[in-house]
């Protein structure tokens, strides 16, 4: 099963088609940290992280992890051992905070971009997350909550996402 991100506003899976949004500066084959572009390619999915203080654990076959206040995703291009990985948030390390004040990370699925042989500066923290207004993201793919919950019921641990 493959999730297909066809263009800046359409995500398809099976017979379902959802409205989505992607990086503010579109798509790229040459992703760089902070470029506000969504990477092109086919990627596996990682875990689902969720805010159990705000939302219920959803129905999904993905491994689910509750987001804690100290969780971050390292985007510090000086730290080879931590870059583009889940970390314990530290003021000395540049990171994406997962326990956000807004709703966007109430549910997030990691997209396994630049996670195997990690290259510093090639981009980090590429997620499927929530949106209400479909404003462009910093490089992620975002859906509204109802569509996200449908997607969670459809996908399996081996599901891939293909971003065109």
Q: What is the pLDDT of residue 112?
A: 98
Distance (Å, whole) CA 25 – CA 36: 6
Domain range for residue 99? 2-163
In tens, the pLDDT along 101-136 reads: 999 999 999 999 999 999 999 999 999 999 999 999
pLDDT average, residue stretch 96-100? 97
Return the CATH number at 134: 2.40.440.10
**Structural domains of the chain, count:** 1
Supply φ then ψ for residue 22, to 5 degrees.
-135, -170
CB-based contact 25:40 (threshold 8 Å) = no
Contact 121, 91 (CB under 8 A): no
Per-residue pLDDT reduced to its tens digit, 33-45: 999 999 999 999 9
Q: pTM (2 decimals)?
A: 0.96
Q: What is the pLDDT of residues 48-68, one digit of tens each?
A: 999 999 999 999 999 999 999
Provide the pLDDT for residue 131. 98
The torsion angles phi and psi of 99, rounded to 5 degrees, stand at -90, 80
Say if residues 48 and 107 touch (Cβ distance below 8 Å): yes
Average pLDDT over all residues of the chain: 97
For residue 32, the model assigns a pLDDT of: 98
């Amino acid at each position: 099963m493959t999730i297909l991100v066809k263009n800046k506003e359409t995500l398809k899976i099976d017979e379902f088609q959802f409205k989505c949004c992607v990086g503010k500066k579109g798509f790229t084959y040459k992703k760089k940290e902070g470029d506000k572009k969504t990477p092109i390619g086919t990627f596996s999915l990682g875990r689902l992280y969720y805010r159990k203080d705000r939302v219920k654990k959803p129905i999904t076959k993905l491994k689910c992890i509750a987001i804690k206040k100290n969780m971050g995703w390292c985007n510090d291009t000086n730290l080879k051992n931590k870059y583009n990985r889940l970390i314990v948030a530290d003021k000395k390390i540049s990171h994406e905070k997962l326990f956000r004040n807004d709703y966007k990370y109430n549910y997030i699925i990691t997209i396994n971009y630049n996670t195997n042989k990690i290259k510093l500066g090639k981009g980090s923290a590429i997620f499927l997350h929530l949106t209400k207004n479909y404003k462009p993201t910093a490089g992620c793919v975002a859906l509204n909550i109802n569509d996200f919950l449908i997607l969670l019921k459809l996908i399996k641990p081996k599901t891939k996402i293909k971003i065109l």
